[in-house]
Amino acid sequence: MKRIILEYQQVDLILTRICHELVEKHGDFKNAALIALQPRGVFLGKVIQTKLNTLFNITTPCGELDTTFHRDDFRRNDKPLIPNVMNINFEIEGKDIILIDDVLYTGRSIRAALDAINDFGRPASMELVTLINRKYKREVPIHPDYVGENVDSRTDDYVKVDWNENKCKVWIITDKSK
């Protein structure tokens, strides 16, 4: 079975709210920067970056972080781990870094991201934005700072964030055969 849990408009409202929360915390973003996780966090990162600009006239860079080489399931998984593009062309040393990903589930991608970020320097702080926070199967002690929507889903469910240009809706698929 497949059902929509967030429509385009709801996602838009949520992201607007998250942008407000970010500005509340980071003000004019003088010392803050966005870093989105490859591959799917990047869409979200771009939308948040654009929204910050249209709503608050804030210009902030949005890096793209690939965590493939830092993942802990290499050689433990039958699927090959093929890297994506990494694009962080600004200094992160001493910055307040806001990590962005679409779905937080086991937390292992974020663990890898925290590891990968270290290769670029030592940020002053790191926070995590996630559109969907799936509960009940966290495998590492990681918690998001800004959450779009908390979703109580079973472990065999699948949550799909479906991007169409700059908009997205979120599906939950409860029957894996679909």
Partner 1 sequence: MSALSTQHLLGIKDITLQDIQLIFKTADNFKQVINRPIKKVPSLRDVTIANVFFENSTRTKISFELAEKRLSADVVNFSSSSSSVKKGETLIDTVNNILAMKVDMVVMRHPAPGAHQFLARHISANIVNAGDGTHEHPTQALLDAYSLQEKLGDLKDRKIVIVGDILHSRVALSNIYCLQKLGAKVRVCGPPTLLPKFIHSLGVEVSHNLIESLQWCDAANMLRIQLERQEDKYFPSLREYSLQYGVNLELLKKLKKNIVIMHPGPINRGVEITSDVADSDQSIILDQVENGVAIRMSVLYLLAGKKIE
Give me the residues that bind partner 1 (CB under 8 A), please: 66, 68-70, 74-75, 80-86, 115, 118-121
- Provide DSSP, 69-99: GG-S-TTSSSS-------B--S--TT-EEEE
Q: How far is the CB of 2 from partner 1 (least distance, A)?
A: 27
3-state helix, strand, coil in the chain (%, to 5): 30, 30, 40
Neighbours of 139 (CB within 10 A): 11
Task: Give how far Cα 61 sits from Cα of 2, 6, 109, Å.
Answer: 36, 27, 22
Measure the CA–CA gap between 94 and 58, rounded to whole angstroms. Answer: 20
- In the bound state with partner 1, the residue whose beta carbon lies nearer, of 27 and 83, is 83
Q: How far is the CB of 56 from partner 1 (least distance, A)?
A: 32
- In the bound state with partner 1, the residue whose beta carbon lies nearer, of 73 and 175, is 73
- In the bound state with partner 1, the residue whose beta carbon lies nearer, of 84 and 106, is 84
| 3-class DSSP assignment, residue 114 | helix
Q: How far is the CB of 66 from partner 1 (least distance, A)?
A: 7
Q: How far is the CB of 65 from partner 1 (least distance, A)?
A: 12
- In the bound state with partner 1, the residue whose beta carbon lies nearer, of 9 and 118, is 118
